[in-house]
Amino acid sequence: MEENPKQFETLVDRAKDYGQTSLILVTLKALYKSSEVLSSTISNSIGPAIICFAVLFANLGLAFWLGEILGSLNAGFFIVAAFYLVLALFIHIFLRKWMRKCFRNLIIKNVLK
């Protein structure tokens, strides 16, 4: 008769250990996935950030150059700004859904990887 309570206590202790181990495993898996997504996002952002700086300085050079040609520095900057306004409208009207789909698929791919 004494063995049944001991077996029950042993079974309860093992179940508690299993539950705690499972919780730790789920926590570690979530940490691993989040670190993968974050590191992937950071490493994939470095190149585009450098390209953005290059484009920024090229645009400043273009604006100064156009301003020098037109005789008005303001005109050069307004022309470059107008170009980007037209580009933004084009992207918003024609490419918004496509870009949203691409970014959504990229995020899902990184999370499920």
pLDDT digits (tens, 9 = 90+) for 77-103: 999 999 999 999 998 898 888 888 888
Look up the pTM and report it. Answer: 0.57
How far from the centroid of its chain's Cα atoms is residue 37's Cα?
A: 8
pLDDT digits (tens, 9 = 90+) for 6-42: 787 888 888 899 999 999 999 998 888 888 888 888 8
Sign of the Cα torsion 35, 110, 92, 47 reads positive
